[in-house]
Structure 1
Amino acid sequence: MAATALVMIDFQAGFHHPAWGARNNPGAEAQALRLAGHARAQGWPLHMVRHLSTTLGSPLHPESGGLAFLAGFAPQDGETLHEKSVNSAFIGTGLEADLRAQGVTHLVICGLTTPHCVSTTCRMAANLGFDVTLAHDACAAVAANADTSWQPGLAAPDPEAIHAAAISHLHGEFVTARSCAEIMGAAR
């Protein structure tokens, strides 16, 4: 029975669509692939999550062509695919049941985008009683996440500020934020 599992969220072609605008951390995918290699070497279960938007025109809608996993992110034999249409990887999927059946108590989470599906999944994982480590350098935020229409005259933050704020809100309350190097160097 595994104590730790890696949950990789929404590393899909649709997140490279120009509609998302600028993003931070262009190395997030490379870091996530290194982390996946480490997890496989450690024998951790890997759970790949894919977003299927219900919004027509979304780069993540099934008709958009953006559902494909980025190179290297498709589940390998024995790894589980969970498909969702909301922000949390736990809603409408078998993720929690699969983790419990595998004896997982600790999650390492990474993915796209930091303030949405990553944050929501981290919060829910912690609320479900999992110990959560967020691989902050294997995540990224995009400019399209910054809707300031609710406050006229408010400047939209850049993706780096969005990412940093999301991580700051999670760290200490829901997760322990660590770099991939720290995670891979820690014995677990």
Structure 2
Amino acid sequence: MQRALLVIDIQESFRQMPRWQAVSNPAIVERAGRLVGAARERGDLVVWILHTEPGTGNPFDPVTGHVRLMDGLDPEEGEPVLTKTSRNSFTTTGLQRILTERGIRELVVCGIQTEQCCETTARVAGDLGYDVTFVTDATATFPIPHRDAPAGRDYAEVLADPRTLGVREIVERTEYALAGRFATIASVDDLAGRPVGA
């Protein structure tokens, strides 16, 4: 076993937020599930990561009960489930120790959000010397309000603002930033094959 699949933050917390209505990839669970199935068939390690913000009372606070994998994603025995409080999956977890103990040098990254926890994890992993594959179509993100936009607007106003950065632009910028420097860009079909009937 030389490779691990990192499934980052595909958790119920996101479904509890108004921005879920504008998610870039409504099929995120199905696409990540295909990667998980392919990884298990190859004998790769699958590592599950959940984002937590204890004491905030928001959907990422464990007391809300939403810090759990979305339905349809189920760890098998022996697959680590880690919780983090930082954007990347290394800083506040034992991920690097787990990977080192198992001799893993290659990582496949999928999850939520494309340009935040997924991209940040890929960058840190690249700096740590891992060979990273970033599966863009198995990530998801949301439109980003302009930095000067007033706080507290309702989400319909965010979406209507022409200064809001759309998901297509976010994904494109992430791929430009990662490709050839921190990661190889790939698709679910590249790693898991085409689904039957496709």
Q: Tell me whether 1:169 sits opposite 2:177 in the alignment.
A: yes
Q: How does 1:34-183 map to 2 (within 5 A)?
A: 34-54=34-54, 56-143=56-143, 146-150=144-148, 155-183=163-191
Shift of 1:16: 1.3
Distance of 1:13 and 1:154 partners within structure 2: 29
Q: Percent identity, aligned pairs only? A: 32
| AA matched with 1:69 | L
TM-score, length of structure 2 as denominator length: 0.85
| AA matched with 2:107 | L
Shift of 1:142: 1.1
| AA matched with 2:114 | T
Shift of 1:97: 0.7
Q: Tell me whether 1:9 sits opposite 2:17 in the alignment.
A: no
Distance of 1:88 and 1:157 partners within structure 2: 22
Find runs of 4+ consecutive structure 1 residues off by over 6 angstroms. Answer: 151-154
Distance of 1:99 and 1:72 partners within structure 2: 25
Distance of 2:55 and 2:179 partners within structure 1: 31
Q: Secondary structure at the match of 1:110?
A: strand
Distance of 1:19 and 1:120 partners within structure 2: 24
Shift of 1:68: 1.5
What 5-or-longer segments of structure 1 have no aligned partner?
none
Q: Secondary structure at the match of 1:162?
A: helix
Aligned CA RMSD, in angstroms, stands at 1.8
Tell me the alpha carbon deviations over residues 35-92 of structure 1, each in whole angstroms, 9 at most, x when there is no partner: 1000001100111001111462432111333212112323210100111011011012
Tell me the alpha carbon deviations over residues 91-150 of structure 1, each in whole angstroms, 9 at most, x when there is no partner: 12110010011111100110000011001100000000000001111001112xx13133
Distance of 1:9 and 1:106 partners within structure 2: 16
Q: Mark the CA change 1:57 to 1:159 in structure 2 (over 3 Å): closer, same or farther.
A: farther
Distance of 1:173 and 1:154 partners within structure 2: 31
Q: Mark the CA change 1:8 to 1:167 in structure 2 (over 3 Å): closer, same or farther.
A: same
| AA matched with 1:92 | T
What 5-or-longer segments of structure 2 have no aligned partner?
151-160, 194-198
Aligned residue pair count: 182
Is the 8 Å Cα contact of residues 14 and 60 (structure 1) preserved in structure 2? yes
Distance of 2:118 and 2:189 partners within structure 1: 19
| AA matched with 1:64 | T
Distance of 2:169 and 2:54 partners within structure 1: 28
Q: Based on CA coordinates, which of the two structures has the bigger radius of gyration?
A: 2
